[in-house]
Amino acid sequence: MTVIDVKVLDARMAEQMPAYATPGSAGLDLRACLDAPLVLEPGQAALIPTGLSIHIGDPGLAAMLLPRSGLGHKHGIVLGNLVGLIDSDYQGPLMVSCWNRGQQTYTVQPLERIAQMVIVPVVQASFRRVESFDASERGTGGFGSTGTA
Ligand SMILES: O=c1ccn([C@H]2C[C@H](O)[C@@H](COP(=O)(O)OP(=O)(O)OP(=O)(O)O)O2)c(=O)[nH]1
Ligand SMILES: [Mg+2]
């Protein structure tokens, strides 16, 4: 298993280190490191600390922050940036932008699980300038060019 360095920025999180809920889980739930409940009115977003920082260290890896499906579907609580991308060289506090895209007020509780983090492989590319591409089956077709059926 890949090992990633983590710093506990808030002592409460020492008991809440990222962990896979089941052996087959892809995501690690992240918690709201709040001192008091945080009210999110419809349309409102807030940057919520997780009380942790990670240093992935390997440019061949990154972390992506994604909504939890229950919060997103039932309560409209998703991410203000839609998806968070954590660079392998980032060492600052891990933050979650929580956005209430729903119609009802939602209150985030201290230590509530608000998002999930997935560690993903990354390919860094360099770019070689050319004047034409080798032919492909798709060519320049896109944006629905293959139809719907
Ligand atoms: O949901 C997020 C998204 C990003 N980050 C941190 C880690 C990431 O490596 C850094 C920069 O993120 P990004 O590149 O997406 O933001 P930016 O607006 O381009 O900022 P920068 O100019 O610092 O790259 O912010 C978080 O803590 N949470
Ligand atoms: Mg950036």
Predicted TM-score (pTM) of the model is: 0.96
Closest C-alpha residue for ligand 1 atom 16:
85
Work out the average pLDDT over 5-9. 98
27-44 pLDDT, tens digit per residue, is: 999 999 999 999 999 999
Closest CA to 83 of 66, 100, 96, 101: 66
- Backbone phi and psi for residue 72, each to the nearest 5 degrees, phi listed first: -70, -45
Bin 111: left if φ > 0, else alpha if -120 < ψ < 50, else beta: left
Mean pLDDT of the chain: 97
- Give the pLDDT confidence score for residue 102 in this predicted structure: 98
- Give the pLDDT confidence score for residue 22 in this predicted structure: 97
111-123 pLDDT, tens digit per residue, is: 999 999 999 999 9
Best residue for ligand 1 mutational test, from 6, 7, 85 (most atoms within 8 Å of Cβ) = 85
ipTM value > 0.95? yes
Asked whether the beta carbons of 18 and 94 are under 8 A apart, the reply is: no
9 lines ligand 1 (CB under 6 A): no
67 lines ligand 1 (CB under 6 A): no
44 lines ligand 1 (CB under 6 A): no
What is the band of 51 on the pLDDT scale with cuts at 50, 70, 90? very high
What is the band of 53 on the pLDDT scale with cuts at 50, 70, 90? very high
Query: 32 C-alpha vs ligand 2 centroid, how far in Å?
Result: 23
